[in-house]
Chains A and B, each alone.
Chain A
Amino acid sequence: MDGISSFFEFVKDNWNIPNSDDDILGHGWTHLKLTLMVLLVVSAISISLGVYVQNKPKLKQASISTASIFLTLPSLALFGLFIPLVGTGFWPVFIALCMYGILPILRNTITGLDEVNPAVVESAKGMGMTQLRQLTDVRIPLAWPVIMAGIRVSAQLVIGIAAIAPLVGYGGLGRFIQRGLTSLGLPNSLERVWTGTVFVVLLALVLDLILGRFEYLTTSKGIRR
């Protein structure tokens, strides 16, 4: 009981203190911004790549395998590996997170396009749609719910792994976990770890709700599940 009430007290005291290293709102915003930027870039890359390799069996296999390997790399090591190349701070985090985010979106883009009814594509072609138009007007809209499912998985993945960012000198909610763990035994150390963990989970939930709503609004009524 004591732990929980002191956690709430910590949250209340540090909810919004600009310029403090314990500013929950500030770190939360940094975390969210980072995640959104990664998602934007990684979606663009993965969807384009997925569209490009979907009907090329060898490239398709190669790109999925590569993206899978990215995901098995230990995150802390990967963050660190980029420091000599791009320095500390935002960039190593950003690049590493992008690498983690590729696989779900890439795989779902390919699956989604594979699952489009061939008769629909045949009739689109038969009516004189160009290749590009078949893609933008028919294939992607029909694969969209599956692609969005991939984006949502990537979002969860990226939010979780982004908690390690402070270890290579960037901000975010992971800062609380890092500071808490390095000051174990001192006042507020456990409260900080809890704050970091709880808010990462909350942020992930909220973002998933938002993306779910976005998926709903961008999916045609004719194919909503």
Chain B
Amino acid sequence: MNHATTDPTDREVMIHLDQVEKVYPGTDIPAVDKLSLDVHKGEVLVLVGPSGCGKSTTLRLINRMIEPTGGRILFGGEDVTDVNPDELRRRIGYVIQQIGLFPHRTIAQNIGTVPRMLGWEKNKIQSRVDELLDMVGLEPKIFRDRYPKELSGGQAQRVGVARALGADPEVLLMDEPFGAIDPITRDRLQNEFLRLQAELQKTIVFVTHDIDEAIKMGDRIAILGERSAVAQIDTPERILALPANDFVDDFIGAGSTLKGLNLSRVRDLELRAFPTIRHTDGRDVGLKALTGSDQPWLLVLDDDDRPTRWVRREDLNRTDAPLLELGQHVRAKTEANATLHDALEQMVTSSTGNCCVIDAHGKIIGVVGIDTLTEVIDRMQSEAKIHNAEVEASHR
């Protein structure tokens, strides 16, 4: 997730919907009513809204799986409202909830579908397939010649994404891509996808009905009401801090502050220096470290610098037992790329109110406390208020 300081709207417009409209035959009420929307190069724009609001229809209007009955669609400035839809779709990756892999074709053939249609050479397709399988974390040697029926749901969805990326399209449309996957796998796929996107910087329009997924995945979120009317479109931070109206407020639901914690990562914090000692160090080293800090807890590390025990001054004085048996076991640990929400969850399970931040090998990097989070929340709220004032000023 790249909620960095650069505003996605600063980048050039990749997809421009201009007063796009869809009226199905036999009705007067449009399913999508004069929708105008910009998607900027390299951003993930999430369309989110209650069922039946027309968000999927809107997505399908972009690659003309549904033909619009009015308005214009521009791709990088080129009007594609009337070009050959099949050729248009070969330039746009498309991922749907049911994935729709071709069961009669191998994984390699599935991923090579669009390159083959575009007339790529065999060798080029082969190396592209392997590259994509690697990219989505599936060993090419193992998976290349398998058939879709031999895949788990999570693997199938990875192949679905790889297939959509087949001919390296600039734009990716994703219609509830993780909707039919169990929560644990979904979370993993979302994280993998965000990592991939940080690397690839595709322009992505992503549809979901799940506001939490929208907050997690989106550089910007468009909250859609009936007939795809845009209720609010902005970064997740600002939408959470500043819902534009009651509809948005209701849709976000309770706990928007806690949800906001999902948007910051532990690695973005200034980690607090914490008194630590190796378990092989003497007690006097520990006592000295405690005296030199304002913390009541001392963190004991094992031979590999992994946090092992929380120890108080009293524990050090009380017995002669080895340091690795003193105090409390360190339960709350998290990695640097975890969200503050994850860290908070860890903290509440820890009686010390602290959560150790570790690297991939389990080595200590630092410690986050409840007070750190309170500071972050304070800052988010004050920033939102400043933005609020700016927006009002610019409207005046």
Residues of A within 8 A of B (CB): 117, 119-130, 133, 138, 141-142, 220-223
Q: Counting CB contacts under 8 A, is B208 at the interface?
A: no
CA–CA, A119 and B94, complex, Å: 12
Shortest Cβ distance from B65 into A: residue: A126
CA–CA, A117 and B98, complex, Å: 10
Find out whether the CB atom of B100 lies under 8 angstroms from the CB atom of A123: yes
Find out whether the CB atom of A142 lies under 8 angstroms from the CB atom of B89: no
CA–CA, A48 and B89, complex, Å: 28
Shortest Cβ distance from A125 into B: residue: B65
CA–CA, A160 and B396, complex, Å: 89
Find out whether the CB atom of A126 lies under 8 angstroms from the CB atom of B96: yes
Find out whether the CB atom of B149 lies under 8 angstroms from the CB atom of A222: yes
Binds A, one of B102-110, B287-295, B302-310, B313-321: B102-110
Chain B residues numbered 97-134 whose CB sits less than 8 Å from any CB in chain A: 98-106, 113-114, 117
Find out whether the CB atom of B96 lies under 8 angstroms from the CB atom of A122: yes
Contacts of A129 in B (CB 8 A): 86, 113, 117
Find out whether the CB atom of A222 lies under 8 angstroms from the CB atom of B100: no
Find out whether the CB atom of B148 lies under 8 angstroms from the CB atom of A122: no
Contacts of A128 in B (CB 8 A): 85-91, 114, 117
Find out whether the CB atom of A124 lies under 8 angstroms from the CB atom of B63: no
CA–CA, A123 and B97, complex, Å: 10
Contacts of A117 in B (CB 8 A): 98, 100, 103
* Minimum Cβ distance to chain A for residue B385 (Å): 43
Shortest Cβ distance from A142 into B: residue: B104
Q: Counting CB contacts under 8 A, is B147 at the interface?
A: yes
CA–CA, A79 and B149, complex, Å: 48
- The answer to whether residues A127 and B114 also contact, given A119-B96, A222-B104 and a CB cut-off of 8 A, is yes
Contacts of B89 in A (CB 8 A): 125-128
Find out whether the CB atom of A223 lies under 8 angstroms from the CB atom of B104: yes
Contacts of B106 in A (CB 8 A): 222
* Minimum Cβ distance to chain B for residue A52 (Å): 21
Residues of B within 8 A of A (CB): 63, 65, 85-91, 94, 96, 98-106, 113-114, 117, 147-149, 160, 163, 166
Contacts of A141 in B (CB 8 A): 104
Find out whether the CB atom of A126 lies under 8 angstroms from the CB atom of B148: no
Contacts of B163 in A (CB 8 A): 127
Contacts of A138 in B (CB 8 A): 102, 104
* Minimum Cβ distance to chain B for residue A26 (Å): 41
Find out whether the CB atom of A119 lies under 8 angstroms from the CB atom of B104: no
CA–CA, A223 and B150, complex, Å: 11
Find out whether the CB atom of A120 lies under 8 angstroms from the CB atom of B94: no
Besides the known contacts A127-B90, A128-B90, A220-B105, 5 further A-B residue pairs in the complex with CB atoms under 8 A apart = A117-B103, A120-B101, A123-B94, A124-B100, A129-B117
CA–CA, A130 and B86, complex, Å: 6
- The answer to whether residues A120 and B100 also contact, given A129-B86, A222-B105 and a CB cut-off of 8 A, is yes
CA–CA, A126 and B164, complex, Å: 10
Shortest Cβ distance from A131 into B: residue: B86
- The answer to whether residues A122 and B100 also contact, given A128-B86, A129-B86 and a CB cut-off of 8 A, is yes
In the A-B complex, the 9 residue pairs with the closest CB atoms? A123-B100, A222-B147, A119-B98, A220-B104, A128-B90, A128-B89, A126-B94, A119-B100, A120-B100
Shortest Cβ distance from B86 into A: residue: A128
CA–CA, A123 and B96, complex, Å: 7
CA–CA, A155 and B160, complex, Å: 40
Contacts of B148 in A (CB 8 A): 222
Give the most central of A126, A127, A138: most B CB within 10 Å: A127
Shortest Cβ distance from B118 into A: residue: A128
Contacts of A130 in B (CB 8 A): 86
Chosen A-B contacts, 20 in total, with CB atoms closer than 8 Å, are A117-B100, A119-B98, A120-B102, A122-B98, A123-B94, A123-B99, A123-B101, A125-B89, A126-B94, A127-B113, A127-B163, A127-B166, A128-B88, A128-B90, A130-B86, A138-B104, A220-B104, A222-B104, A222-B106, A222-B149
Shortest Cβ distance from A130 into B: residue: B86
Contacts of B105 in A (CB 8 A): 220, 222
CA–CA, A129 and B113, complex, Å: 9
CA–CA, A124 and B100, complex, Å: 8
Q: Which of B63, B88, B96, B103 contacts A142 (CB 8 A)?
A: B103
Find out whether the CB atom of B86 lies under 8 angstroms from the CB atom of A223: no
Contacts of B103 in A (CB 8 A): 117, 120, 142, 220, 222-223
Shortest Cβ distance from A134 into B: residue: B86
* Minimum Cβ distance to chain B for residue A44 (Å): 22
Q: Which of A127, A133, A221 contacts B94 (CB 8 A)?
A: A127
CA–CA, A59 and B20, complex, Å: 36
Shortest Cβ distance from A120 into B: residue: B100
* Minimum Cβ distance to chain B for residue A142 (Å): 6
CA–CA, A223 and B106, complex, Å: 11
CA–CA, A28 and B113, complex, Å: 46
Find out whether the CB atom of A124 lies under 8 angstroms from the CB atom of B86: no
Contacts of B85 in A (CB 8 A): 128
CA–CA, A126 and B89, complex, Å: 6
* Minimum Cβ distance to chain B for residue A136 (Å): 12
